[in-house]
């Protein structure tokens, strides 16, 4: 139960890293969740397996989140929005 609770906290970290303009873009529904949220969950699972069930520290998690969001924006999935 503690793992689920702590893992859910990463969603707030993801939303906090989003550029404000991305929050209101039409046409990104589902794509962001697939390319960023689901991918982060997958990477988190790998981290847990490879590190004896230990969650990443906040700095490591934030770096992965920022990288996923940057990749999302660069790929054009973010509606062509460029991060400032």
Q: CA–CA separation, 25 vs 59, rounded Å?
A: 28
pTM (predicted TM-score) = 0.78
Dihedral sign, CA of 44, 66, 22, 16? Answer: positive
Q: What are the tokens at 5? A: 């609770």
Render pLDDT for 22-65 as a digit per residue (tens, 0 to 9).
Answer: 665 555 567 888 999 999 999 999 999 999 999 999 999 999 99
Give 66's pLDDT tier (boundaries 50, 70, 90).
very high
Which pLDDT score, from 0 to 100, does residue 84 have? 34
């Amino acid at each position: 139960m503690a793992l689920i609770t702590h893992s859910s906290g990463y969603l707030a970290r993801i939303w906090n890293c989003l550029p404000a303009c991305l929050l209101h873009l039409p046409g990104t529904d589902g794509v962001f969740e697939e390319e960023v949220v689901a991918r982060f969950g997958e990477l988190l699972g790998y981290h847990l397996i490879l590190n004896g069930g230990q969650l990443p520290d906040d700095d490591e998690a934030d770096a992965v989140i920022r990288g996923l969001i940057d990749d999302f924006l660069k790929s054009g999935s973010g509606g062509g929005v460029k991060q400032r």
